[in-house]
Structure 1
Amino acid sequence: MGSSRTGEGNREESDRTPVSARTSDLYAFGPYRLDVGGRILAREGQVVPLPPKTFDLLLLMAQSPGRAFSKQELMSALWPDVFVEEANLSFQVSVLRKALGEGGGPWIETVPKHGYRFTADVKRISAAAAAAIPAMTTATPVTTAATPTTRKTWMAVTAAALVLAAGGYLYLRARPRATPRAAAGVAVPLTSYQGFENTPSLSPDGSQVAFSWNGPGEDNYDIYVKLVGPGPPLRLTTDPARDDNPAWSPDGRVIAFQRFTTEAIADVFVLPALGGAERKIAAGVPAGRTGVDFAYAGDMSWSGDGRWLAFAGNLFQEDGRGIWLIAADGSERRRLTDSSDRAPTFSPDGRHLAFIRRTAGWTVHVLPLSSVMMPAGAPARVTPEAVWVRGLDWMPDGQGLVFSGAGHLGLSRLQRISLGPDRLTPLGPPELLPFGEQAAAVRISKTGRLVYSAQFRDTNIWKVSLDGHPRLGAAPIAPSTFDEHTPDYSPDGKRLAFASTRSGVEEIWISDANGSNPVQVTTTGGPQCSNPHWSRDGRTILLSSRREGPGDLYLLWPDSSELRRLTDHPAEDGEARWSRDGRTVYFASLRTGRFEGWKMPAGGGDAIRVTPNGGMTAVESLDGRFLYYAKDANSPTSIRRLPVGGGQETKVVDGLSYSINFVVADRGLYFLAVGDAPQKTSLDFYEFATGKRTTLLNIGKQWWYGMALAPDQRSLLLSTVDSAGSNLMLVDQFP
């Protein structure tokens, strides 16, 4: 299954078993069955997905129940010939305890000053006994919804089932490299490679899938094609630049794709579907692959007659955003919309174009088209504001749409909405489909075959000690198997506020400073609620939410959960920070058409623009003399400085991973810097007095959102991606 190797200790991660075990053996303990050969853990007939290293840890301990393993012994077995820190083992133990749940977690006993012991009563089922279990002629895939204890990773089970029989469990063994065969309306894995398999596009007959994959080394995205069935994929491109967003032509002969020359610019190519010479049809088109939610949306689509390609521009450039058309021969380019729009998809008859528009969330709009491919009216919104759409496609008959919907960074599911004869009016609320957990991009062939990318991600907040030798803490703060980010300390340092999707949508939570006793304090219901920041007196929290518009600022009284809207503007407002005296709020806004830094009275009132040429996340220096801010929302970006009273802008440092990933201290700036790959994240320090930049800590994980400096400045919090990936899932005979 696809997963991203994050952390120094995961570089050698693989599917091998680090201990001697017969691959035909099974182990039973409590309600669980552990299959060595299939590398599957099941509870009462349901698969419990485990990351590879976590599976290895469980197998190692289950083979010697009652034995006290030392930490060094476990680390040597799990990561042979690789130096890892103890925090890697602690993290794997934490993941395993969560996966086993409340009843099974205590089986992993901590042996003080030594290591761990597995205390469950384990029974080994021999190969002979396993062979006596009757086989089944047709394997039915196990399809379960991810839960908080299983979402850490997904396991691809292509031809296996676990069933509960009278008096015990019957385990039906997976046949190696079995062809995915799904009953109607059942999703089965099509790919399960290491890394990220994204933006699928089906051939017209549904027999092949083109997709973008960052490869077995997870080092570069290229375009691949795979037959629906067994066999490896065919690699079509090998350029060192990122190749993405493949789109199969209606006649099945060529595949169009984008090659990114920068974060905001791409060239458009076509190449034969079976491989061959590339042909560039457009150079330097506006494009955007920055942004979490649309990393997998799929941003190109062919018109039914094969004469036009629709593509999405760059969200953050006023002259480049919107949906564009380009002639298939590259002779013409035209702009259809000028809003923040993504993922265009032509209807089967070519008379309508569906796309995702940034509103209060990200909603599906449909634009009517004339016979000459010009807008024939205004686009109509057809999905609810509260739904954050990540991908979409038309039904084969053109009478509705399938889309993946969720809250910001929250759980997504595939849904279907029927449209009236004008294709601009929904005939009712969206219908939840019985598959599509954590779906992003989705494509449907004329023959009724559906494919979607299923993504998973676990992000956590980590504490970094700044005393002498900066280092990550042994375990994350207030962890879950969902997203945690944008932390902030209360003024007295005793509490934390942070955003989490552990409730299914993004909400604000409060915990003790060490992450214990987490409590949800907002119930906005989505689609976004994040960036909490305590007031100086600790009574209120400033935050951003899209509950009533494209993005506004709110004040939260955490003790009562009272929420009051602070801004009410048609443009997006967000990334707010308090001034040092607590009388002013700085925030970023799109009121001028691009993000600029603004300020307003803390109690509400007129806003004043403060940055001259773009700016986000403005933070005052501790003495109140200067304003530090990120240049824009791209990654990487730079940190700039202005006198609080106005004056000349100065560039301070480049390489900031994202606009909210820096904090201002007495002596300088701490920030998360990004290298030439997402995993090459470091904690850097810029000293005010000397202008010297120093790398304090190589994180070894991909950066995530938000940082917080402790009031005593002896530690800080940051957020990282600890586990992530995506696979392609297949559904036959849809609808």
Structure 2
Amino acid sequence: MSSQVKQLFAFGPYLLDTGERLLKRGDALVPLTPKALETLVALVRHGGRVMEKEELLKAVWPDTYVEEATLAQNIFTLRKALGEGQDDGQKYIETIPRRGYRFVAPVHELPYERAPASVTAAADGDETQALVSHATERASTEAAPIAAAGLTAQPMARAPRPRLGAFVIGTALVLVLALAVFALLKFSVRRRTHEPAVAPAQAMKLMRLPINGKVEAAAISPDGKYVAYIANDAGQRSIWIRQTNATSRAEQLVAPGSLDFGGLMFSRNGESLYYGAAPKDGSQPPALYSVQVPLGGTPKHLLAGLNSKPTFSPDGRQVAVVRVDVHQPKPESSVVISDADGSHERVLIKRTAPDYLNALAWSPDGQLIACVANSAEPSPGHAALITVRASDGVEQPLNTQRPYNDAQGWINIADLEWLPDGSGLVAALTEQELSPTQLWLIAYPSGEPRRITNDLNGYAGVSLTADASTLLTLQTDLVTNVWVAPKGDAPHATQVTQGPGKYDGYYGLTWTPDGKIVYASIASGAWDIWQMNADGTNAKQLTSDARSNYGPSVSSDGRYIVFVSNRGGGAFHVWRMNADGSEQKQLTFNEEENFAHTTADGRWVIYASVDFAQANYIWKVPIDGGPPVRLTDKNSSWPFPSPDGKQFVCTYQLDANAPPKLAVFSIDGGAPLKLFDVPQTFRANTVWSPDGRAIHFLDNRAGPANIWAQPLDGGAPRQVTDFKTDGVLAYDWSRDGTLACARGIETTGVVIIKDFR
């Protein structure tokens, strides 16, 4: 460390011991890399003063040359470890644009000889701290070291972005894409007055099961002896079961075929496995099936029409699901209860879009069903836990007014399970903008939340044993970086950004006319727009301290960058700034907007509206601001203008039940000029080819997502890139045909957690 002086600093609920080289929150150690810890020490010692970047680099790396991006990565790590400035409503590390960083939280230095074992949060200005002997702290520290299991987040569930719910399959692809976009736009910053308690990490045990391949859902049996999971092998989904012990061999329960699967759960007696299934072509809504375990057999069809993981009454005689009716003028979501065989259906509660319901859990006493109610207000929406009386549908909010769970609720709640004694629920929650989903314990009836996990991984799904001694979930680790490939030549692609946790290019990248790359990154600790040379050097941050900014597009003359931001509070809109990041101006003001691109003549910005309550359309707005002009008459998204500026391409849905197509329009709108069918493996991200002769899009038919081309003359689609691993997430072509793309490697494992209570 740059200085060996032993000091003890207290700020918020944290205690920083420079002598022992550790950071604690209460009795729990906060895992940090050595350099991240040294960065924190330097900032805290100079609390309240701006530390220039060069000063920080010399303090942390005195004898080594490192780039500023490395320092930014350490700042990102610290912000995540400290809860991204959410403790006590206090931001800890402030970015000073083009200068450096400042530690802004109140800091109190304590006598080192009286080092405390824990520290509790106090109000600003309250210097009272609970002090115990240094020997006690050392004993507690050495008794239970933390095992960190990984440090890379998944900002929105799976590519292309966050999940809208725990189980959405079998609908038209354009609806799925619209829901994914809507979920992305729901992610806005929520300030909390107090950080919830964290589970005792020293006691909690986490074990990753040796299950190979791509796993999309998993569940543990009530007795904890079996684990069932959905495997995805190049788009072919199947259901497997294995014993939880490490040497067990997996057996296939349901073979791949014409159906896609989701929403696994065991029956309460452990003798059956329930799952949802729907035709891959989306011709029918998802239905509920069961299969015997562990021997398998012929699956049994139980219930038609579900859009959530099912939940069963304690006696197993009734089942509740969320059902979505997209045929209404505004889609309706309902909680439907029926007998286990699907008879005697009744609607318990209902919501009309843009509000919707998801994630259910039937209480152990059979009286209540916990449910997630998602609202559009305050924009761009929030998720709240409610309980619904199973007998008559009477609703009761689960105390969302708690000081550490403010009235705006959570960003997303993906899955729920009750504890067997009814004292609370385990939930997969997202509490902050574009942050990974974590596991929480929500007390009942108080609603008090407590973290179970607190890291940079993403977690999906909640499954408990009957005694709640074991929790099973999926843990996802995603690393993305920017690559450059001349003419899209995959074997000769060069990686130009390095390191986990920054998600460089994940939310968009583009070329400038002079050959630089403008991209979105979280290297600063928030989603911002950056610029760098084509070889990755001279990275420069263009936006800062303005909530989330992503999806850059550079005007043909290089003068402007347009992007999407929620800096105005809540909703995401299209913004414009000068190429150096100055003079930032809002261009759109409707519900939500996304996918903004400048036209070749530099006069217009073309974009898509995003509104879950009604169809989305393609629009254009003058780059200097002014009234927007609607260009399409049916549900459409992912626009991209042609190189000559005369046309644009987008996804287009002829009617509510039809699959999407690629459509080419005049830049002035009107009827489609050309329509092309797209495969089921189509993953949007439409981009016009530099020569103007084809439409490029992402497709994962062979595994990793690659770029494919649809010739405008009507020929068959052809593959453009051939990346064998690390699929393409976002991309753009320079004027000379050089490809810049964000590629990511995602690993998902089935994880068992014990002693989490």
Indicate which of 208, 226, 229 corresponds to 2:245.
Answer: 229
Counterpart of 2:236 in 1: which secondary structure? coil
1:308 aligns with 2:319: yes
- Give the equivalent residue in structure 1 for 2:683: 658
| Structure 2 contact 650–686 (Cα < 8 Å) conserved | no
- Give the equivalent residue in structure 1 for 2:98: none
- Give the equivalent residue in structure 1 for 2:428: 403
Instruction: Return the alpha-carbon distance in structure 1 between the equivalents of residues 539 and 326 of structure 2.
Output: 35
Instruction: Return the alpha-carbon distance in structure 2 between the equivalents of residues 270 and 674 of structure 1.
Output: 32
Q: CA deviation at 1:281?
A: 1.9
How many residues align structurally? 547
Q: TM-score, normalised by structure 1?
A: 0.64
Unaligned runs of 5+ in 2: 1-32, 35-69, 75-142, 156-199
The worse-fitting range, judged by mean Cα deviation, of 407-416 and 621-630 is 407-416
Instruction: Return the alpha-carbon distance in structure 1 between the equivalents of residues 375 and 499 of structure 2.
Output: 29
Q: CA deviation at 1:610?
A: 1.5
Instruction: Return the alpha-carbon distance in structure 2 between the equivalents of residues 317 and 272 of structure 1.
Output: 37
1:329 aligns with 2:341: yes
Instruction: Return the alpha-carbon distance in structure 2 between the equivalents of residues 184 and 205 of structure 1.
Output: 25
- Give the equivalent residue in structure 2 for 1:478: 497
1:513 aligns with 2:538: no
Q: CA deviation at 1:683?
A: 3.2
Instruction: Return the alpha-carbon distance in structure 2 between the equivalents of residues 489 and 239 of structure 1.
Output: 39
- Give the equivalent residue in structure 1 for 2:610: 590
Instruction: Return the alpha-carbon distance in structure 1 between the equivalents of residues 555 and 288 of structure 2.
Output: 48
The worse-fitting range, judged by mean Cα deviation, of 380-389 and 343-352 is 380-389
Instruction: Return the alpha-carbon distance in structure 2 between the equivalents of residues 524 and 263 of structure 1.
Output: 44
Instruction: Return the alpha-carbon distance in structure 2 between the equivalents of residues 666 and 418 of structure 1.
Output: 59
Where in structure 2 are the equivalents of 1:80-159 lying within 5 Å?
Answer: 143-147=147-151
What is the identity, as a one-letter code, of the residue corresponding to 1:727? Answer: G
Instruction: Return the alpha-carbon distance in structure 2 between the equivalents of residues 637 and 464 of structure 1.
Output: 30
| Structure 1 contact 436–454 (Cα < 8 Å) conserved | no
Indicate which of 413, 437, 462 corresponds to 2:438.
Answer: 413
1:209 aligns with 2:227: yes
What is the identity, as a one-letter code, of the residue corresponding to 1:146? Answer: G
- Deviation digits for residues 322-355 of structure 1 (CA, Å, limit 9, x no counterpart): 4543632123375733445543334444524333
Instruction: Return the alpha-carbon distance in structure 1 between the equivalents of residues 620 and 495 of structure 2.
Output: 34
What is the identity, as a one-letter code, of the residue corresponding to 2:148? Answer: T
Q: Are residues 442 and 369 of structure 1, via their aligned partners in 2, closer, same or farther at CA, if it must alter by over 3 Å?
A: same
- Give the equivalent residue in structure 2 for 1:242: 260
Q: CA deviation at 1:279?
A: 0.9
1:541 aligns with 2:552: no
Instruction: Return the alpha-carbon distance in structure 2 between the equivalents of residues 464 and 670 of structure 1.
Output: 19
Counterpart of 2:254 in 1: which secondary structure? coil
- Give the equivalent residue in structure 2 for 1:610: 631
Indicate which of 297, 302, 305 corresponds to 1:281.
Answer: 302
Counterpart of 1:239 in 2: which secondary structure? coil
Q: CA deviation at 1:256?
A: 1.4
1:730 aligns with 2:752: yes
- Give the equivalent residue in structure 1 for 2:739: 716
Q: Are residues 369 and 612 of structure 1, via their aligned partners in 2, closer, same or farther at CA, if it must alter by over 3 Å?
A: same
Indicate which of 642, 649, 654 corresponds to 2:672.
Answer: 649
Q: Are residues 490 and 604 of structure 1, via their aligned partners in 2, closer, same or farther at CA, if it must alter by over 3 Å?
A: same
What is the identity, as a one-letter code, of the residue corresponding to 2:669? Answer: G
| Structure 1 contact 321–340 (Cα < 8 Å) conserved | yes
- Give the equivalent residue in structure 2 for 1:498: 519
Q: CA deviation at 1:386?
A: 9.4
Q: CA deviation at 1:530?
A: 2.1
Counterpart of 2:351 in 1: which secondary structure? coil
| Structure 2 contact 425–442 (Cα < 8 Å) conserved | yes
Q: CA deviation at 1:523?
A: 4.0
The worse-fitting range, judged by mean Cα deviation, of 270-279 and 657-666 is 657-666
Instruction: Return the alpha-carbon distance in structure 1 between the equivalents of residues 342 and 720 of structure 2.
Output: 48
Q: CA deviation at 1:593?
A: 0.9
1:392 aligns with 2:404: no
| Structure 1 contact 458–724 (Cα < 8 Å) conserved | yes
- Deviation digits for residues 587-614 of structure 1 (CA, Å, limit 9, x no counterpart): 2113461322122333444433221222
| Structure 2 contact 460–475 (Cα < 8 Å) conserved | yes
| Structure 1 contact 409–501 (Cα < 8 Å) conserved | no
Q: Are residues 364 and 606 of structure 1, via their aligned partners in 2, closer, same or farther at CA, if it must alter by over 3 Å?
A: same
- Give the equivalent residue in structure 2 for 1:463: 484
Instruction: Return the alpha-carbon distance in structure 2 between the equivalents of residues 279 and 456 of structure 1.
Output: 35
Q: CA deviation at 1:246?
A: 0.7
Instruction: Return the alpha-carbon distance in structure 1 between the equivalents of residues 329 and 725 of structure 2.
Output: 32
- Deviation digits for residues 56-88 of structure 1 (CA, Å, limit 9, x no counterpart): xxxxxxxxxxxxxxxxxxxxxxxxxxxxxxxxx
Tell me how large the CA RMSD over aligned residues is: 4.3
| Structure 1 contact 199–245 (Cα < 8 Å) conserved | yes
Q: Are residues 581 and 219 of structure 1, via their aligned partners in 2, closer, same or farther at CA, if it must alter by over 3 Å?
A: closer
Q: Are residues 553 and 391 of structure 1, via their aligned partners in 2, closer, same or farther at CA, if it must alter by over 3 Å?
A: same
- Give the equivalent residue in structure 2 for 1:172: none
1:620 aligns with 2:617: no
